[in-house]
Structure 1
Amino acid sequence: MLQDLSIRNFAIIEELSLSFEEGLTVLTGETGAGKSIIIDAIQLLAGGRGSAEFVRHGEKKAEIEGVFTVPPAHPVYERCEQFGIEIEDEMILLKRDISVSGKSACRINGKLVTIAILREVGSALIDIHGQHESQELMDEQLHIHLLDQFGGGEISAARSNYSEVFGLYDDLRKQIRSLSENDQQMAHRLDLIQFQYQEIEKADLTLNEDEELLEEKTKLSNFERLFDSLQTAYNALQGEQKGLDWVGLAMSNLEQAGDIDQDIQEVSEAVSSQFYMLEDAARTIRQQLDNLEYDPERLQIIEERLNEINQLKRKYGSSIEEIMEYYSAIEEEIESIVNRDSSLEELQKKLHSAEKDLQLEGENLTSLRKKWSEQLTKEIHSELKALYMDKAVFEVRFSETKNFRQDGMDQIEFYISTNPGEPLKPLIKVASGGEISRMMLALKTIFSQHQGITSIIFDEVDTGVSGRVAQAIAEKIYSISTHSQVLCISHLPQVAAISDRHLFISKEIKNDRTTTHVLPLEKQERVREISRMISGVEITDLTISHAEELLDLAHSIKKSTV
């Protein structure tokens, strides 16, 4: 959940620190007090589009910081691991600064990241829905993914199998398309890769050749230093009154001492061992000296060979291994172009086989989707009934596509009829704002359980409803909050009454500057605020009584759901 939020110099907010809790938190206040600005800040924290206009007038930058607590099994761990971000103590800190120039600096747990990475991580933590953003759930392009999410592991496994076969199928299509290009293009391509093939073949490369040549070049380039170092080392060890003589003398005397005192024998054996090792080392150094030979012509040959290899690297790969891989690839391509007809025939056979496999996997995926669409339809109807849309008819409509696609063979769109006798229409054509709000809540109630989102935010999604529908929406928002933290901006007193925590947003003009304040409301303050929401302006004994009744009713509902 979102635990702490800090906002500085953001729009009309000078400085604001908020702590949140589990369950449902409602934000209320007069229009223009800054409720939606707080949501805008959270949206930017989750990777939303930034702008210099967000920076408070006269300040250099806006700063937003949020602390989230996440359980160990949360999908955000996998995303953070993918980007090399460590999570300690089950906490994630998102931070975003926006300068007056419009540039953003984003950090996750102190690590500087791109906006794309912030958005990737933020989307696993925060789900924001506004009056107009609810249209995202009604985007027909997303319906197939929502259904797949609802189907869980069963659809996921089938889709994975389909995707694997689709990858092979798509690769074969690309190969066939490449071989089916016109003769002139194919001839030009063949000329080019044959030249490249011959150039690499002529070079007669061997793996690690460049590394071995560089090592030899280093020896030849530093021949004099190498010879002097070896000669000095050998002279220090071998010769009269040199290192080996003195170590040999020590060894002889220690052997005599060891015959007298057994405690000396261990030291004696160690010195003896070192003497023979030094003797072997001296012989090896002598052999190295005898084998050293300076060959300036060989150095020139190495330089030319390394230059040839580097030329090939610039054209065909950063290493000899990559050049050889490219060599193998164009060898196969030359073979396929030269024998194009037979290659096309072979590829067509493979494509036909892949199409059969893909058709079977696609049909299996479609069958599972239809099975789960029936369950989804039942659950949607149940949710709509609870929101006083019991006459509404929901349908997951399938239409087959002519071509295989990455996500299957299905075109899926959600349809609904909100009144008896009316034909089913796409969700996007649902006209009433209140119906859109209820439809979105019904979908969100179901899909939020499958998306694993930490914090769900509703920004005035209850617009256009009243009476018993308002009460139903309040109860639905509360039910979502029982398994995921919910922050909600609302003008409905029913939503405010059923919340677990009530924050009142107000603004103050001081020294000709507007500042936003947030006040957590206790019981009596909640009664007055809910009373204001009921009456609009004037608070009367009757509206206070109604507010108290709403709070009592909300308490009973919450108690019954425990």
Structure 2
Amino acid sequence: MLTELSIKNFAIIDEIAITFGEGLTVLTGETGAGKSIIIDAIQLLAGGRGSVEFVRHGKDKAEIEGLFSIDYHRHPIYQVGKEYGVEITDEQVVLQRTITASGKSICRVNGKLVTLAILREFGKTLIDIHSQHETQSLMDSDRHIDLLDYYDYERVSQVKTEYTKLYSQLRTLKNRYKELSENEQEMAHRLDLLQFQLNELEQAQLEPNEDEELEKERSHLANYERIYKGVHDAYEALYGERKGIEWLNVAQQSLDDNQEYDPFIKQKAEELGNHYYNIQEITMDLRNYWETLEFNPERLNEIEARLSEIGRLKKKYGATVNEMIEYMGTIEEEIEQIQNKDTHIEKLLIQIEELEQDTFLEAKELHDIRRKSAKQLIKEVHKELNGLYLEKASFAISFNPEIDNRRLSNEERKQVKLHQNGFDQVRFMISTNTGEPLKELNKVASGGELSRIMLALKKIFAKHQGVTSVIFDEVDTGVSGRVAQAIAEKIYQISNESQVLCISHLPQVAAMADTHKFISKIEDSNRTFTKVSELTLDEQINELSRMITGTKLTSTAKSHAKELLELAQTFKSKKEKITSVK
């Protein structure tokens, strides 16, 4: 959920920091106080389109920062983080967005600079904003198949994983078939290039790890004088008259002559004896190695020339000799395939045919699971719509193509187009009145009906989408009476599955709030500022009274406000009891 939101120099907001909790948070206030500006800021934080007009007049930049807590270990944000190399620790994600007065947009996720497109990928897994004037995820028909799969995640995920693996293999084979089936001229050019590369690498006569061995040998020859002097000086310091070995011998003889008189001397005589013979052996090794040292400038020149040639090849074929040798094997294999492409094309066609059958069977199993899930989902949606006084509405899920249970012929199967999600094209359809045809969600015209449909779907999908924060921006506009109460109850039910932030003008919705924040506008030094305050119970009663009457606070309005709060509390209590029983 969104736990902290910081906004600075954004529109009429100077600087505010808002803490959000679980459940339902309602934001109310006079028109123009800045309620929608806060939602605009959150939308920009989720990757929305920015504008220099958002930067407060006279300021260099607008800054927005949001802290999200993630308490679901399978939340899709972890996969997004892995994909874009953003580390997510302590179950927290921080999104940051800066818009400069010159129009530049700077985005960060957990402190890492990202593009706006990447920020949008993170944002859509964390925040779902819905207003009457904006298309959201549920209105995007291309995402309906993902929502349906989330609805029955346990059954779908295993089959989908297997399908994805087969589909990826199938695409690889088809791409290879396409490459081998290209026109003769392109294939001939490709063959010439590969043969030139292979000849160049073969003429180089590369040996495994050759570059590493040559680097070591070059280092040795280039530092010959230092090596020679070091070994020589060490030997000279140890061997010779009045040198290290001789003095060690004197010490050894002194201890040996007196060891029978003292156990300590005897012990140290033995220890020194061991060291003496080791050092004597080291001295002889130094002499032998020193005598073998020989400077060979011709060999050094050979090594330099060879490393230069290898370096030239590395620029074209690989970072190491071993990588170039591996690339040679790849070239040889591709050359063989091109020279015998007809044989390989025949083999590929057989492999593709077999893999297509297996992939189709997995896609068909996915299709069957989805059809069963769709039936259950349709029942749930109708139940939710009834609770929102859309009893005559009809909800359906269309599948294209429609595949029945009979076994398809090879020709029929080949006409079914596979894609990354199987072969299904899924669309949510709705009809709000008896006798009207089913239409796609984004073609439903009535704002009030659309709001209720969206609430019904969000009620169901809140726990399946994985979105941590659902935001409603005046979705209750244009409704009243029993529909208003039904919307208030539905929004509260959604908040049981996901954090909900809601801008509302309906007292019924505001009464349901777990937290009620009031947005006000103040003037100081000829500047306008937005202020956010959390209401106490008495302040909440006054605000509900204002929402009921419009301006003047009356005893009747206060009485009505108290009654709304009591009814809301009764509704919440019933829901808590039902939840505890479950």
TM-score calculated relative to the size of structure 2: 0.91
Partner of 1:221: 222
Partner of 1:367: 368
Q: Which of 473, 495, 509 lines up with 2:487 in the alignment?
A: 473
Q: Shift in Å at residue 373 of structure 1?
A: 1.1
Paired residues of 2:86 and 2:109 also in contact (CA < 8 A): no
Partner letter of residue 294 of structure 2? Answer: E
Query: Which stretch has the larger CA shift, 29-38 or 62-71?
Result: 62-71
Residue 6 (structure 2) pairs with residue 9 (structure 1) = no
Instruction: Give the distance between the partners of 1:367 and 1:299, measured in 2 at CA.
Output: 71
The superposition leaves residues 74-109 of structure 1 with CA deviations (integer Å, 9 ceiling, x where unpaired) of 634565566353524x54444443332333444455
Gap runs ≥5 in structure 1: none
Paired residues of 1:54 and 1:62 also in contact (CA < 8 A): yes
Partner letter of residue 459 of structure 2? Answer: T
Paired residues of 1:85 and 1:108 also in contact (CA < 8 A): no
Query: Which stretch has the larger CA shift, 194-203 or 449-458?
Result: 449-458
Partner letter of residue 73 of structure 1? Answer: H
Partner of 1:235: 236
Distance 1:79 1:288, change over 3 A: farther
Distance 1:330 1:500, change over 3 A: same
The residue correspondences of 1:303-318 to structure 2 (distance < 5 A) are: 303-318=304-319
Instruction: Give the distance between the partners of 1:459 and 1:52, measured in 2 at CA.
Output: 23
The superposition leaves residues 45-70 of structure 1 with CA deviations (integer Å, 9 ceiling, x where unpaired) of 33434333322111122222333333
The residue correspondences of 1:48-67 to structure 2 (distance < 5 A) are: 48-67=48-67
The superposition leaves residues 168-207 of structure 1 with CA deviations (integer Å, 9 ceiling, x where unpaired) of 1111111111011111111111111011111111111122
Partner of 2:407: none
Aligned residue pair count: 561
Instruction: Give the distance between the partners of 2:361 and 2:272, measured in 1 at CA.
Output: 78
Query: Which stretch has the larger CA shift, 460-469 or 183-192?
Result: 460-469
Instruction: Give the distance between the partners of 2:245 and 2:108, measured in 1 at CA.
Output: 63
Partner letter of residue 563 of structure 2? Answer: E
Query: Which stretch has the larger CA shift, 202-211 or 51-60?
Result: 51-60
Partner of 1:287: 288
The SS at the match of 2:423 is strand
Residue 456 (structure 2) pairs with residue 442 (structure 1) = yes
Instruction: Give the distance between the partners of 1:437 and 1:500, measured in 2 at CA.
Output: 22
The SS at the match of 1:71 is coil
Distance 1:173 1:78, change over 3 A: closer
Partner of 2:212: 211
Q: Which of 70, 86, 89 lines up with 1:87 in the alignment?
A: 89
Partner letter of residue 385 of structure 2? Answer: L
Partner of 2:98: 97
Partner of 1:552: 566
Paired residues of 1:505 and 1:518 also in contact (CA < 8 A): yes
Partner of 2:68: 68
Identity of aligned residues (%): 53
Partner letter of residue 508 of structure 2? Answer: Q
Paired residues of 2:96 and 2:108 also in contact (CA < 8 A): yes
Instruction: Give the distance between the partners of 1:485 and 1:266, measured in 2 at CA.
Output: 78
Q: Which of 511, 514, 517 lines up with 2:531 in the alignment?
A: 517
Instruction: Give the distance between the partners of 2:254 and 2:123, measured in 1 at CA.
Output: 77
Instruction: Give the distance between the partners of 1:77 and 1:332, measured in 2 at CA.
Output: 39
Partner letter of residue 425 of structure 1? Answer: K
Distance 1:257 1:497, change over 3 A: farther
Q: Which of 518, 526, 538 lines up with 1:504 in the alignment?
A: 518
Partner of 1:301: 302
Distance 1:279 1:451, change over 3 A: farther
Query: Which stretch has the larger CA shift, 276-285 or 74-83?
Result: 74-83
Instruction: Give the distance between the partners of 2:254 and 2:120, measured in 1 at CA.
Output: 77
Distance 1:425 1:69, change over 3 A: closer
Instruction: Give the distance between the partners of 1:86 and 1:182, measured in 2 at CA.
Output: 48
Partner letter of residue 211 of structure 2? Answer: D
TM-score calculated relative to the size of structure 1: 0.94
Paired residues of 1:97 and 1:106 also in contact (CA < 8 A): yes
Distance 1:539 1:160, change over 3 A: same
Paired residues of 2:147 and 2:464 also in contact (CA < 8 A): no
Q: Shift in Å at residue 496 of structure 1?
A: 0.5
Gap runs ≥5 in structure 2: 402-414, 577-582
Paired residues of 1:336 and 1:343 also in contact (CA < 8 A): yes
Distance 1:404 1:257, change over 3 A: farther
Aligned CA RMSD, in angstroms, stands at: 2.2
Partner of 1:482: 496
Q: Shift in Å at residue 458 of structure 1?
A: 1.4
Partner of 1:426: 440
Partner letter of residue 87 of structure 1? Answer: T
Instruction: Give the distance between the partners of 1:39 and 1:259, measured in 2 at CA.
Output: 95
Query: Which stretch has the larger CA shift, 528-537 or 76-85?
Result: 76-85
Partner of 1:458: 472
Q: Shift in Å at residue 310 of structure 1?
A: 0.9
The SS at the match of 1:408 is coil
Instruction: Give the distance between the partners of 1:19 and 1:509, measured in 2 at CA.
Output: 24
Instruction: Give the distance between the partners of 2:263 and 2:118, measured in 1 at CA.
Output: 71
The superposition leaves residues 449-490 of structure 1 with CA deviations (integer Å, 9 ceiling, x where unpaired) of 013333222111222322211111110110111232211111
The superposition leaves residues 431-465 of structure 1 with CA deviations (integer Å, 9 ceiling, x where unpaired) of 11111111111111111101333322211122232
Distance 1:457 1:264, change over 3 A: farther
Distance 1:419 1:190, change over 3 A: same
The SS at the match of 2:64 is strand
Partner of 2:154: 153
